[in-house]
């Protein structure tokens, strides 16, 4: 598989490195060259300095033949524009955006775009870890609430 990872923060670097370990071809784009230091030693793909929604940059990254675009920049909006471009302009089969804002994530999911709602996922993980029962207002264990 040929994948473009946009944004080389912690999440982007992790995904890019994991995909390389699985044997996929990966190009990582970030506007800051220094971000690429986050990539692990197992990363065997290429890096491009550029902006998430710059079409020239996406074309030079090979978006026209990409199987997947993974948008993980810090900006929800940049990620959402990048996946829309990938789907509508370049007909990329899979385009997934990391979206921190839960409302934005579900809204764009309803519009047919793949989103990873990171805040919701973290919230769910905490809830699961704590494994609290729903609060019983008349329960015996609560004091002064």
Residues at the interface with another protein (CB under 8 A)? 53-55, 75-78, 80-81, 84-85, 88-89, 101-104, 107-108, 110-111
CB of 114 to another protein, least distance (A): 16
8 Å CB contact between 7 and 52: yes
State which residue, 44 or 107, has the beta carbon closest to another protein: 107
Query: In the complex with another protein, which residue's Cβ is closer, 9 or 75?
Result: 75
Nearest C-alpha neighbor of 62 from the set 33, 30, 26: 26
Query: Least distance from C-beta 53 to another protein, angstroms?
Result: 6
Question: DSSP letters along 42-87, please?
Answer: T--SEEEE--TT-HHHHHHTTGGG-SEEEE--S-HHHHHHHHHIII
Taking the least distance from each CB to another protein, the nearer of 39 and 99 is 99
């Amino acid at each position: 598989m040929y994948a473009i990872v946009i944004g080389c923060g912690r999440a982007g670097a992790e995904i890019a490195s994991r995909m390389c370990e699985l044997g996929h071809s990966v190009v990582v784009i970030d506007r800051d060259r220094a971000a690429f230091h986050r990539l692990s030693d197992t990363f065997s793909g290429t890096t491009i300095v550029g902006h998430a929604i710059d079409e020239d940059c996406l074309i030079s990254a090979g978006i026209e033949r990409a199987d997947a675009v993974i948008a993980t920049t810090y900006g929800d909006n940049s990620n959402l524009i990048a996946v829309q471009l990938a789907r509508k302009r370049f007909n990329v089969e899979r385009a997934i955006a990391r979206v921190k804002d839960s409302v934005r994530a579900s809204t764009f999911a309803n519009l047919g775009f793949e989103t990873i709602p990171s805040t919701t996922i973290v919230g769910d993980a905490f809830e699961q870890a704590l494994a609290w029962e729903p609060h019983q207002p008349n329960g015996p264990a609560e004091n002064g609430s």
